[in-house]
A and B are shown apart, each in its own frame.
Chain A
Amino acid sequence: MASDEELMLAYAAGDGRAFETLYAKHKGPLYRYVLRTVKTGGEAEELFQDVWMRAIEARGRYAPQAKFTTWLYTIAHNRIVDHWRARGLTVVSTDDDEDAPEPAAPPSAEPHLQLEARRTLERLAAAIAALPLVQREAFLLHQEGGLTAAEIAKATGADEEAAKSRLRYAMNKLKDAIGE
């Protein structure tokens, strides 16, 4: 099976199916990363589309020097930073997003376990939303993009130690929130 990098190069060479494969693989994680970073459905859709459009337009200049995911999430990060900057860096909300779909409950036959699981998810969602911006982004890049601390540093333009530290803080806070 072709790697992401090979698929992107194939798309740049004119293979439309390669892009469909790439998109199918990355659309969910990228969408959730954007959604949880900006926290409103409308903005997330606009930014998500814009990120892909930029990737499409930059296909001719794509060089697989880094992982495709690092490149894609770097574009996403830059787009989100532009979005924040355009709004004076105050747009980030920690409120729960009413437009977002309800989190699905884990499969469980027991009603009281379902309720407990649901509460856990609610606490987790609230804890993610309450994370400082850079920690939340590090956590999402790790969970959704599968990026390592070094790749998070590269995608966000941060120092690797800083990226590690942000990820560690985020994980600890979220573990506390769900009682792990």
Chain B
Amino acid sequence: MRSVSESGDKLTRAYRDLSREEPTPALDRAILAASQRALRRPSLARRWAAPVSIAAMLVLAIGVTLEMQHEQPGIETSAPQRGAIPPRAVEPQPAPLPQAQAPVTPEPQPKLKREPVAPPPATAPRAKREAIAPPREAIAPAREASPRIEAAPERIAPATPPMQAPAAAAGAAAAPAPAAAPAPAAADMQAPAASNVARPQALRAAPAVAKELRAQSEEERELERIATLRAQGRDTEADKALQEFRRAHPDYRIPDTIWERVKPR
């Protein structure tokens, strides 16, 4: 443990002879017991992890639901413009097989369209429409459910070839049109990955630096908050906050200038 590189031999020997004090056994027991207790007690972050996760899920679910409700009128008004199909016509589950075949065999569809006898629901034109239009609508909520960060790069790289998109889009659009996953959806799903690949090396290294800077400023912000409490005469709160700060950041050195403003009175 002791380095003798810069020490004189005699000095080092003498100091070793001098320095034999040890903490008392009672102190040892107290510290070791505390170390074991700390392991049994979940940390603050772990204790709050589950409730915070549940709350976040609820907020997200409510947010998405409200967003969908807001968008619903838009869908209703735009649907007739595209093909004069009542909005309810989208709701019935179409058979997946005809949809899959619709783009491959386009010729019979005009015939069906022209037949005046047949009622509009459950026909090939509708199937074709659902193969094109509904997936966009079906994907829209799924896209909104994903973080907004992912939405931005989608617009940056739309030309990326859709390599993984069909499967993903089919998964997202599930029942309405599994086979005819549209190109926009493909671009949507592919774009974030493409933008990640294109990200410069410097940007990938940036989060570590940013995290460090953020941590530093968090500590400074916390000290500023304590200084404000002190200035307001709320010494009890400031004392408690300072204790908490020291527990959270035991190896952070509080500069003298800041210490003057946060120190216990």
Give A contacts to B, CB under 8 Å.
11, 14, 16, 19-20, 23, 25, 27-29, 31-32, 35-36, 45, 48-49, 51-61, 71, 74-75, 78-79, 81-82, 85-86, 100-101, 103-106, 117, 120-121, 124-125, 142-146, 148-149, 157, 167-168, 171, 174-175, 178, 180
Known contacts A20-B32, A23-B32, A143-B7; is-contact A54 B14 (Cβ 8 Å): no
Indicate with 1 or 0, residue by residue over B5-37, a CB within 8 angstroms of chain A CB atoms: 011101111110111111110011011101110
Q: Which of B232-258 contact A (CB under 8 A)?
A: 246-254
Query: Does B250 contact A171, Cβ atoms closer than 8 Å?
Result: no
Q: How far is the CA of A146 from the CA of B264 in the complex (A)?
A: 33
Tell me the bound Cα distance from A14 to B35 in angstroms: 10
Contacts of B209 in A (CB 8 A): none
Contacts of A75 in B (CB 8 A): 250-251
Chain A residues, Cβ within 8 Å of B20 = 101, 103-104
Let me know if B38 is at the binding interface, CB within 8 A: yes
Additional A-B contact list (18), CB under 8 Å, known A23-B31, A25-B1:
A16-B35, A32-B19, A35-B21, A49-B30, A52-B31, A52-B35, A54-B246, A57-B247, A59-B38, A61-B248, A78-B252, A78-B254, A85-B259, A104-B20, A146-B3, A149-B6, A167-B6, A178-B14
Question: Does B263 touch A at the CB level, under 8 Å?
Answer: yes
| Contact indicator B252/A103 (Cβ below 8 Å) | no
Contact A82 B246 (CB under 8 A): yes
Q: Is B198 an interface residue (CB 8 A)?
A: no
Number of chain B residues close to chain A: CB under 8 A:
44
Is B43 positioned at the interface, with any CB of A under 8 Å from its CB? yes
Expressed in whole angstroms, the minimum distance between the Cβ of A180 and any Cβ of chain B is 4
- CB of B88 closer than 8 Å to a CB of A: no
Decide if B2 touches A143 in the complex (CB within 8 Å): yes
A55 near B17 with CB under 8 A, answer no
Q: List 19 A-B contacts (CB under 8 A).
A: A16-B35, A16-B36, A23-B32, A56-B34, A56-B35, A57-B38, A61-B248, A75-B250, A81-B253, A86-B263, A101-B20, A101-B21, A106-B17, A117-B17, A144-B2, A149-B6, A168-B6, A171-B6, A174-B15
Are A57 and B18 interface neighbours, CB within 8 A? Answer: no
Quote the shortest CB–CB distance from B186 to chain A (angstroms). Answer: 41
Shortest CB-to-CB span from B4 to chain A, Å, is 9
Decide: A124 and B253 in contact? CB cutoff 8 A.
no
Decide if B205 is an interface residue (CB 8 Å cutoff).
no
